[in-house]
Amino acid sequence: MTPRALEAAVREAAVRIFGLDPARIPFVWPRNDHADEGADVATALPPRLAGSVGDRLDVSRGDRRAAVAARVADGLSDMRDEGLVDFDRVFHDGRGFLNVTFTGRQREALLAEAADGPRFLTGRDWDGAGEWPSSALHEAGPVAQARRLARADARARIGLAVGPQAPPPGPRGEVSWRDPYLDGGPRELITPAARALGAVGEASARVAFCRSVPERPRDTETTGRDLPVLPSVEYPGAWARLTDANPAFRLRYAHAHAVSLCRWAEEGAPPPAACSGHTAPVRGLLFDGPSVLDTAARREEPHILVRYLEALASAYDEWRTCSTAVSEPAERAAAPPALPAAVAGVVRTGLFLLGVSAPTRL
């Protein structure tokens, strides 16, 4: 079940139970990171409704949130009995949040949906007209100016993806590791911004420029160990390395690995062993992708998307290596074949919105 499908189901349950006008119900993203223990996702819609419908319930003021959540849960259960929605379990917690546990089939369907990253993250096809903004960063003078251009590109691309019109076609086809500044042949790099691009490459530069929060960072500011906000030819930091210390490399490697795993599976290779304890975090982060992109667009803060992609890549890294940490064979199971495709779809789309290409081969 996708976030949008669950939100629509919870909204319909509230309409049924309380006779509300659907247009007056606030849109509340269900989130995995809000879920109580044992649940896949949770929604904060019942507490949002408590103020407007709580007086219809014969409860004290302090119990309104729980009472509203219980009623909406009953409505969802009735919809399941009618075959309109499916889930394994629904319950409310002390916050009044509605927690939902999915069936195995729903979890598989979520992964299948996420493989089409553009549609999953934005709820529509990318088949509109227009061009995706992409500034020539080497034409900037100071590195700070190149950073402003890269952040403006990311904001515009994110806004275009979730805006009122259908976005232009998105990422497609094979992409190599080659970088226009590191591998593009001789190029005259005169300005500080151009020389910085020659030192770290465009992919690392764009991720570095979008990773931090301040609009006007200090020259010496970093976003982590050896990760300068304004990488320069004098101090490129880890942004110049092809290692896990470089977040841009780590994101692009995760995508290339996921795509390769899908390709190897198509060629007949057995699926890797994985434990359920490392599968659930990846699936949960995938579920939260649409709400993260929506938040990044509303706040115009590209770092929200960068940090989300990093969290997803880290969870994927733990998933793909977890079999070495499993001591009991009984705890091992064949990895869901759709999981790498889902990770690849979301990471590729997220990088594209940052103006970064996603390599397809290791």
CA–CA distance, 351 with 206 (Å, rounded to integer): 10
What are the tens digits of pLDDT across the range 267-304?
Answer: 888 877 777 789 999 999 999 999 999 999 999 999 99
Separation in Å, CA 204 to CA 9, 97, 241, 312: 41, 39, 9, 18
What are the tens digits of pLDDT across the range 234-279?
Answer: 999 999 999 999 999 999 999 999 999 999 988 888 877 777 789 9
All residues at 6 or more sequence positions from 254 whose CB lies less than 8 Å from its CB, including other chains: 312, 313, 316, 317, 343, 347
Neighbour count for residue 16 (Cβ, 10 Å): 16
CA–CA distance, 113 with 304 (Å, rounded to integer): 22
Q: For the chain, where do the domains classified as CATH 1.10.730.10 start and end?
A: 246-354
Token output for 232: 């320069």
What pLDDT, on the 0 to 100 scale, is given for residue 46?
93
What pLDDT, on the 0 to 100 scale, is given for residue 54?
61
Query: Rounded mean pLDDT of 123-148?
Result: 96
Kindly tell me the burial class for residue 101, based on how many C-beta atoms sit within 10 Å of its own C-beta (0-12, 13-18, 19 or more). middle
CA–CA distance, 176 with 54 (Å, rounded to integer): 57
- 246-354 in CATH: which number? 1.10.730.10
pLDDT for residue 59 is more than 70 = no
pLDDT for residue 83 is more than 70 = yes
Q: For the chain, where do the domains classified as CATH 3.30.1360.70 start and end?
A: 3-102
What are the tens digits of pLDDT across the range 5-40?
Answer: 999 999 999 999 999 899 889 999 999 999 998 899
Instruction: Name the band, by pLDDT with cuts 50, 70 and 90, for residue 62.
Output: low
Query: Rounded mean pLDDT of 295-319?
Result: 97
DSSP string covering 302-346, please? HHHHHHHHHHHHHHHHHHHHGGGG---GGG-EEPPTHHHHHHHHH
Query: Rounded mean pLDDT of 155-161?
Result: 98
CATH architecture of 3-102: 2-Layer Sandwich (3.30)
pLDDT for residue 51 is more than 60 = yes
What pLDDT, on the 0 to 100 scale, is given for residue 336?
61
Return the DSSP state at 274. Answer: E
CA–CA distance, 7 with 48 (Å, rounded to integer): 14
What pLDDT, on the 0 to 100 scale, is given for residue 328?
46
Query: Rounded mean pLDDT of 115-139?
Result: 96
| 170-179, 190-199, 221-230, 273-282: least confident range | 273-282
Query: Rounded mean pLDDT of 64-73?
Result: 91
What pLDDT, on the 0 to 100 scale, is given for residue 322?
80
CA–CA distance, 58 with 121 (Å, rounded to integer): 40
Which H or E run contains 90? strand 89-92
Q: What is the mean pLDDT of the chain?
A: 91
What's this model's pTM, rounded to 2 decimal places? 0.93
pLDDT for residue 323 is more than 70 = no
Q: Please say whether the beta carbons of 249 and 308 come within 8 A.
A: no
